[in-house]
Amino acid sequence: MTATRRALDTLAILLAILAIWEVLHRVAGETALPAPAETLSYLIRTVPTARFAENAAATAAAFGLALILAYGIGLAIGIWMGAHRLSGAVGEPILVSLYSLPKITLYPVVLLIFGLGLSAKVAFGAMHGILPVALLTMGAIRAIPPVYLRAARTLHLSPWQTITTVLLPAALPEVFTGLRIGFTVTLLGVLLGEMFASKAGLGYMIMNAMSLAQSKEMVAVAIVLFGFAALANALLLWIEHRLHQRV
Amino acid sequence: MTRIGLIRSAVIVTMIAALELACRTGLIDHRIVIAPSEMASALVTLLASGSINADIERTLGIIAVVIALSVVLGFAVGVVIHALPHLREALDPFFATYYAVPIFIFYPVLIAIFGLSPMPIVLIGVATAIVAMIIATLNGLDRVPRVLVKVARVHRLGRVSTALRLQLPATAPYLFTGIKLSVSYAFIAVIAAEFILSPAGLGRDISDAYTDFENRRMYALILFLLIVATAVNAGLHALDMRFAERRSGGGP
């Protein structure tokens, strides 16, 4: 009952967005912002093409690799700084200030180090993702009640058993929040990389469409990316919610 | 506390010194990264020459406008949405998703609509920063203790004076979190926009220096932006600490 009402509310807002889009289209004109209906039909025609598939595959490859790096390095830093109090106290403010820096300024440096191509995009995406994963993992491990560890000691658990049966399950919901945010910012990092200097990927497609004044393609690719990110986020939020309930 | 601060400074100094050494000895190619001391001296020369003053003014000006618009409008929108529970329920899924989708990819669309002027940069900046302020305002208003609202009713305070004399101070910590986030989003969005496509500004300067292989200029500009962003963040953090102290120090 409430679920259907909520779905209807959400639908109403989506319709409102479409209406605003249509009005903007009438004001701005065809070349600047295409009409919603035309753009959506263009989207349906474009997505199955080989050109779109190639660019989507390029973005997916860069994003996948960047995500593996961001999760691996972020978790390692987070566990280390969460378990070792002194490292955490020394490192946390450094990580926090790095997190709030506009990392886009460092992209030329990444390009100089890695050259144009896949590895620069991967490195830039991972740079974005490592910090939130590390910070939230550190917080999660620190927040584990000491009584859990005492219980583990009383039960004579080995260090490995302590990690797998006590530390990880207790910290998992918070760690997962970090992984979800890491997912989002890594995707943004990869797309920014593609927008600035790249010859493949969905970010490149958008910039290319802009220079050719193909606004339909620009908006269509943006909508595909929005849809992907929103669906992935909803799935991750759902898992996160389940993890929090379980604890 | 001071011991930890000392260790932290030592760690940072060691890292910079290691980079300096690696550059000086040629372990790192100077065409890739230049020594930190060179970056600093290049920055001093660049600032003394005055050639980037116009771009500094432009970029920091746009960031200031974006922050002001986002904070003021974000607070106002937050108050309105909070007063309309039905609308809020409908918007909640959008707020939960907003920072998960790469809003920034709309920047080229804004350029197509408004042309190459500061307008698309301001809009993409506000679009990025304002939602953090709206969410922070809603969070804060949710947590105003009900007893305070009752006190206001007992004293027959009007709507506006309840908002200004009671809700604003009670939500201040949350609003400040919103402001901090807005500031950091404003920096990121404006510089990224200038970097990708803009007629002028510090982001554009960095991108030009990169394409022209002017490493000294590029590193000087990057260093400048990182110093400004770090200083602003540190300033906000210090303010936050002082507010927190005053609140816990038995204030009203």
- Domain boundary assignment for chain A: 48-246
Overall average pLDDT of the A45-51 stretch: 89
CA distance A66 to A48: 26
Say yes or no to pLDDT of A247 above 80: no
How high is the pLDDT of residue A53?
92
- The second-level CATH assignment, the architecture, of A48-246 is Orthogonal Bundle (1.10)
Q: Please give the biggest Cα pair distance in chain A.
A: 72
Inspect the interface and report whether the beta carbons of B97 and A230 lie closer than 8 Å.
Answer: yes
Q: Does A116 touch chain B (CB under 8 A)?
A: no
Say yes or no to pLDDT of B252 above 60: no
A201 within 8 A of A58, measured Cβ to Cβ: yes
C-alpha distance from A14 to closest chain B C-alpha (Å) = 10
Say yes or no to pLDDT of B70 above 90: yes
Classify residue B213 by its DSSP letter.
T
When mean pLDDT is compared across A151-155, B26-30, B156-160, the lowest value belongs to: B156-160
**pLDDT digit string, tens, across residues A51-81:** 999 999 999 999 999 999 999 999 999 988 8
Nearest CA in chain B to A105: B222
Q: What are the b/e assignments for B200-215, b being 16+ CB within 10 Å?
A: ebbbbbbbebbeeeeb
Q: Does A104 touch chain B (CB under 8 A)?
A: yes
Say yes or no to pLDDT of B44 above 90: yes
Q: What angle do CA B175, B181, B183 make, to 5 degrees?
A: 105
Classify residue A214 by its DSSP letter.
-
How high is the pLDDT of residue B116?
82
**pLDDT digit string, tens, across residues A84-141:** 888 888 888 888 888 878 888 888 899 888 888 889 999 999 999 999 999 999 999 8
Classify residue B122 by its DSSP letter.
H
Task: Report the domain count for chain B.
Answer: 1
Say yes or no to pLDDT of B186 above 60: yes
Q: Does B56 touch chain A (CB under 8 A)?
A: no
Please give the C-alpha separations between residue B8 and each of A89, B15, B35, B202, in angstroms, as whole numbers.
9, 11, 21, 30
Determine, yes or no, domain membership for B192.
yes
Q: Does A213 touch chain B (CB under 8 A)?
A: yes
Say yes or no to pLDDT of A31 above 80: no
Inspect the interface and report whether the beta carbons of B90 and A9 lie closer than 8 Å.
Answer: yes
In one-letter notation, the amino acid at residue B83 is A
C-alpha distance from A146 to closest chain B C-alpha (Å) = 22
CA distance A177 to A237: 8
CA distance B140 to B174: 5
Nearest CA in chain A to B33: A109
CB count in 10 Å sphere of residue A91: 20
Overall average pLDDT of the B176-196 stretch: 90
Nearest CA in chain B to A92: B8
Task: Name the average pLDDT for chain B.
Answer: 87
Inspect the interface and report whether the beta carbons of B104 and A191 lie closer than 8 Å.
Answer: yes
pLDDT grade for B1, boundaries at 50, 70 and 90: low
- Domain CATH for B180: 1.10.3720.10
Option in A196, A203, A215 nearest B195 (CB): A196
Q: What tokens were used for B229?
A: 């962003």
CA distance B77 to B132: 12
Inspect the interface and report whether the beta carbons of B112 and A215 lie closer than 8 Å.
Answer: yes
ipTM > 0.90, yes or no: no
Give chain B's radius of gyration (CA, Å). 23
Say yes or no to pLDDT of B121 above 90: yes
How high is the pLDDT of residue B250?
47
Q: Tokens 């510090």 correspond to what residue?
A: B202
A146 against A127, higher pLDDT: A127
How high is the pLDDT of residue B249?
59
CA distance B137 to B132: 9
Determine, yes or no, domain membership for B21.
no
Query: By residue range, what is the domain housing residue B181?
Result: 53-247
Say yes or no to pLDDT of B86 above 70: yes
Residue A245 sits at φ, ψ, to 5 deg, of -65, -35
How high is the pLDDT of residue B14?
93
Residue of A100, A135, A190, A206 to mutate, interface with B, max B Cβ within 10 Å: A100
Determine, yes or no, domain membership for B28.
no
Q: Which residues in chain B have Cβ-Cβ distances shorter than 8 Å to A90? A: 4, 7-8, 11
A247 within 8 A of A173, measured Cβ to Cβ: yes
A25 within 8 A of A36, measured Cβ to Cβ: yes
Determine, yes or no, domain membership for B43.
no
How high is the pLDDT of residue B155?
86
CA nearest neighbour of B138 among B85, B97, B191 = B85
Determine, yes or no, domain membership for B131.
yes
CA distance B32 to A143: 41
Say yes or no to pLDDT of B238 above 50: yes
Helices of type H across chain A: 2-28, 36-46, 50-83, 85-99, 107-114, 118-142, 146-154, 159-161, 168-196, 202-211, 215-246
How high is the pLDDT of residue B29?
85
Which A-chain residues 59-88 have CB contacts (< 8 A) with chain B? 86
Classify residue A49 by its DSSP letter.
S
B205 within 8 A of B49, measured Cβ to Cβ: no
Inspect the interface and report whether the beta carbons of A203 and B229 lie closer than 8 Å.
Answer: no
**pLDDT digit string, tens, across residues B190-235:** 998 998 888 889 999 999 998 898 889 999 999 999 999 889 988 9
What angle in degrees, to the nearest 10, is found between the helix axes of A118-142 and A50-83?
Answer: 40
Q: Does A196 touch chain B (CB under 8 A)?
A: yes
Q: Does B176 touch chain A (CB under 8 A)?
A: no
C-alpha distance from B79 to closest chain A C-alpha (Å) = 19
How high is the pLDDT of residue B251?
44
CA distance A27 to A22: 9
Q: Does A238 touch chain B (CB under 8 A)?
A: no
A83 within 8 A of A141, measured Cβ to Cβ: yes
CA distance A241 to A124: 30
Which B-chain residues 79-138 have CB contacts (< 8 A) with chain A? 86, 89-91, 93-94, 96-97, 99-102, 104-106, 108-109, 111-113
When mean pLDDT is compared across A122-126, A234-238, B35-39, B108-112, the lowest value belongs to: B108-112
C-alpha distance from A162 to closest chain B C-alpha (Å) = 28
CB count in 10 Å sphere of residue A245: 8
Q: Please give the biggest Cα pair distance in chain B.
A: 75
